[in-house]
Chain A
Amino acid sequence: MISSDPKQVQRICFDNIEVENMHTLEVAKAHGAYAFLPNVLKDFDTDKIIDEVKVSGLRGRGGAGFPTGLKWSFVPRNTGKPIYLLCNADEGEPGTFKDRDIMRFDPHLLIEGMIMSGFALGVKDAYIYIRGEFLHEYNVMCGAIEEAYAANLLGDNILGSDYSMNLMMHRGAGAYICGEETALIESLEGKAGRPRFKPPFPAVEGFYGCPTVVNNVETIATVPAILEHGAAWHAAIGIPNNTGCKIFSVSGDVNKPGNYEVPMGTTLKVLIEDYCGGLKHGSVPKVVIPGGSSTPWLTGEHYEVPLTYDDLMKAGSFLGSGAIIVMDETADLVAITHRLTRFYAHESCGQCTPCREGTGWLERVLERVNAGQGSDDDVKVMKDASTHMAGRTICALAEGAAAPILSLLEHFPEDVQAKLLNPQQAEKTS
């Protein structure tokens, strides 16, 4: 049974998030940062760390939920090429704002995670790719990295060990697609962020053709706790196959929007009512987008769903990045869908025709429908174009763009009908 008392719950990444001046090395160290690092450098090796992370059950916190230890085990060793570790701090999925808090409030947690992960993978050069808008967070991270270098936590022979690693911040410049790992790699190579075909996967052929691991901020920030407390400790939090804690970024029609880290398996209702102060209007949400704007919508019937990768999949959606956008009975779903579609049309990188043309077309159709000028034919086009876009492109942006539209049409056809040019006529024919 998971406690519903926010003060009692286990936290991992946010364990010290409220501590004042936690971004300084002195305060971070006083709260245990880097305390276990010497043990890792001395007593652990690649196999031991990968095994620990595998047994811990840690899954990628950026959106895909892929088992982290397994991802690491795909990296070929002894190819003669350098291995790179890239941290994905591009955080651009609408509704997501969790990595920002880790970076601005507890940057040393991320740095320690990078050192331990880099050590596991034999990495000499690691980079954190942060979205360009996060200038404050970039500056906080750069300051923390500088302090870490001065304390021999980064650079040559870390804490007197044989292990040396460089860590550098790299700013994106306003392109959502760079959160896709191969687009991120392209961008870090100084190019436009256009996703690559997979395979080859980055683990084999990534940054400048070398084996590369790309992990989300929250994923990397979880590694120190796993190594210090042990895989079994982590695996005991949450439920099997969905272990550990997860930060949920909750926004929209709730009274206390914010980031809340809770054990996996906490229900949506507990999160919204006990943590977020409940809905602004009504007792059951009209729509909940559970994992960022690209994930299919849940309706009120799923209010008690446990927040896990598996349960959300069973409910027809995804845990994604844990970005929960809540809409109560006052929400204008057609207007919101139009806005999200405009986002995807703007952010499509343009290399795949179905996505480039489809997102723009859908935006124009939704603009018409939202303005009260749409017809039944427009509804057919919305359904047809979104269905045919998904699965026909290099990356998942097109699926993400289709998700809100298909959800709107499936669950709330009456909201669409009400905005069409001649609602009475439309009602008669349906």
Chain B
Amino acid sequence: MSTVTEPQFSEARLVEIKALSKRYPHQKSALMPVLYMAQEDFGYLSMEVQQMVADTLSLKIMEVREVVTFYTMFREQPCGKYLLEVCTNASCMMNGAYALLDHMTASLGIKAGETTADGMFTIAEVECAGACAGAPVVQVNNMYHENVTANDMDALLTKVRAGEVI
């Protein structure tokens, strides 16, 4: 007997999902957008959330697992309130991305892929963000920051810690 409540999409979400599914030839195409919704609503895609998505779209759990594990933007683990994704591919690398990444890991005291103990920040090293004229590029919760210097990053972290919304 489990005391944990199973995750449930809100009624509004279910209405949204139903409408969305109709815009594709088959409901299965709605899987990726629905996974984004689940990730937004529940923070990350736990096994329970993945099962809920499977049930919502009448898919087998393996069909959902296959997609969740294939795409890097679907997360199976919780991450910090602020996800800092540093691109280190060629053009960013040539423009100081690794020095920036080192600066960030040193100032937050975590490695790339880890989250600070207070749950505020996660640092991730990512592949080409497609904004190479602005190298180095850092995405903060999916918003692009370009030509980022160590000073810019310090200022950003200070703002976030002071409670300012980025």
Which of A17-25, A107-115, A187-195 has 4 or more CB atoms under 8 Å from chain B?
A: A187-195
| Cα(A188)–Cα(B23), bound, Å | 12
Nearest residue (CB) in B for A258 is B133
Nearest residue (CB) in B for A177 is B70
The 9 closest A-B pairs by CB, nearest first: A173-B71, A251-B132, A174-B72, A190-B31, A190-B28, A192-B70, A174-B73, A251-B91, A94-B128
| Cα(A175)–Cα(B72), bound, Å | 7
Partner of B71, one of A91, A132, A346: A132
Q: In angstroms, how far is the closest chain B Cβ from the Cβ of A211?
A: 13
Residue numbers in B under 8 Å from A95 (CB-CB): 90-91, 128, 132
B130 touches A100 (CB 8 A): yes
Residue numbers in A under 8 Å from B66 (CB-CB): 191-192
A340 touches B33 (CB 8 A): no
Nearest residue (CB) in B for A98 is B130
Residue numbers in A under 8 Å from B135 (CB-CB): 251, 257
Residue numbers in A under 8 Å from B139 (CB-CB): 133
B70 touches A325 (CB 8 A): no
| Cα(A78)–Cα(B25), bound, Å | 19
A176 touches B133 (CB 8 A): no
Residue numbers in B under 8 Å from A303 (CB-CB): none
Interface residues on chain B, size class: 35 or more
Q: In angstroms, how far is the closest chain B Cβ from the Cβ of A184?
A: 12
For residue B108, CB closer than 8 A to chain A, the reply is: no
For residue B9, CB closer than 8 A to chain A, the reply is: no
B133 touches A249 (CB 8 A): yes
For residue A222, CB closer than 8 A to chain B, the reply is: no
B70 touches A193 (CB 8 A): yes
A176 touches B90 (CB 8 A): no
Residue numbers in A under 8 Å from B35 (CB-CB): 173
Within 8 A of B (CB), among A249-297: 249-253, 257-259, 289, 293
Partner of B94, one of A92, A173, A208, A252: A252
A135 touches B142 (CB 8 A): yes
| Cα(A336)–Cα(B90), bound, Å | 6
Partner of A336, one of B30, B70, B94: B94
Within 8 A of A (CB), among B61-102: 63, 66-67, 70-74, 88-91, 93-94
For residue A171, CB closer than 8 A to chain B, the reply is: yes
B71 touches A96 (CB 8 A): no
Q: In angstroms, how far is the closest chain A Cβ from the Cβ of B136?
A: 11
Residue numbers in A under 8 Å from B142 (CB-CB): 133, 135
For residue A136, CB closer than 8 A to chain B, the reply is: yes
0 or 1 for each of A304-344: is its CB under 8 Å from B? (1 = yes): 00000000000000000001010100010001100110010
For residue B42, CB closer than 8 A to chain A, the reply is: no
